[in-house]
Amino acid sequence: MSDNVTPTTGAPAYALQCQDLKKAFQGVLAVAGATFDVPQGQITALIGPNGAGKTTIVNLLSGMMQSDSGRMQLVGTDVTNWPSHKIARRGLMRSFQLSRELGGLTVLENLLVAPKHQAGESLFNIFFRPLAVRREERENVERALETLKTYGLYDLRDNRARELSGGQKKLLEIARAVMAQPRVLLLDEPMAGVNPALIDRIGGYILDLKASGVTVLMVEHNLNVVEKICDHVIVLAEGRTLATGKLSDLRANQDVVQAYLGEVINASTHG
């Protein structure tokens, strides 16, 4: 895998590149040498059976955990074992399998904490540039309210985040990530535990993010969704990259069929 992700004529660009990632817990390898690339500006699904290492990889990519070995690049920058706040500043944001809203804050306040490098975070600006601080705060509120309208949460803007339903919390997490203006967005099972109508809405929002230039890597078990919205699929098994490609092609890959519970791929994508 090349270290240079700047595209040349006819060559793809990659938002994320992972080479031989390994992570063990008490001697057991959860990620056992995973190598894959995530194309820039596309929606990529990370799929595989339970225990394949999907969420562990998301934790490694986002800096929530440190790898034991291997390399990670984010839009051409080596970010191996960077802390999560530094990776976030480079433009990678994530959601969680179990939503992590700031429950004591309102829905609006959850979005207002997300923008990076806010002027009001500096004591110097607070005392010597108060007008600039207030202007930016007004702009952030306006943008947050527009984002809440987009994600159908505007009427809940003054509610405590803990009061939202499970599906609404999923939307809140995505909206909060959008407020940070990510280059890359990692979504850990965004469709889990939500009703079919909301699944369609979330799928539409993810497609909109792609259209705006955001690269999306999503862990997802709903293969109907994967086939409908994802450009590229990475299949993990036992902590390793088993195959990559389009889901329609991977259904014919016998290694994938055997590793990913065989009939699940066909039944899920045609059911």
Q: Which residue has the higher pLDDT, 135 or 190?
A: 190
- Whether residue 5 lies inside any domain: the answer is no
Which residues touch 172 (CB under 8 Å, ≥6 apart)? 99, 101, 107, 110, 151, 153, 161, 164
Rounded CA-CA distance 137/82 in Å is: 30
- 3-state secondary structure (DSSP) of residue 201: helix
Boundaries of domain holding 208? 14-101+181-270
End residue of a domain, out of 110, 133, 163: 163
Q: Do residue 88 and residue 188 come from a single domain?
A: yes
Q: What is the CA radius of gyration of the chain?
A: 19
Same domain flag for 205 and 237: yes
pLDDT at 270 over 60: no
Residue 141 is assigned to a structural domain of this protein: yes
**Residue at 213 is within a domain:** yes
The separation between the first and the last C-alpha atoms of the chain, rounded to the nearest angstrom, is 37
**pLDDT tens-digit profile of 59-103?**
999 999 999 999 999 998 999 999 999 999 899 999 887 778 878
Q: Confidence band (pLDDT; 50, 70, 90) for 6?
A: very low
Angle, nearest 10°, between helix axes 166-179 and 130-150?
140
The 10s digit of each residue's pLDDT in 19-68 is: 999 999 988 889 999 999 999 999 999 998 888 899 999 999 999 999 99
Q: Are residues 216 and 260 in the same domain?
A: yes
Check whether residue 91 and residue 129 sit in a common domain: no
Q: How many domains does the chain have?
A: 2
Distance CA 106, CA 158 (A): 5
pLDDT at site 117: 63
**Exposure of 95 in the CB half-sphere (CA atoms within 13 A):** 27
CA 177 to chain centre: 9
Is there a domain that residue 176 lies in?
no
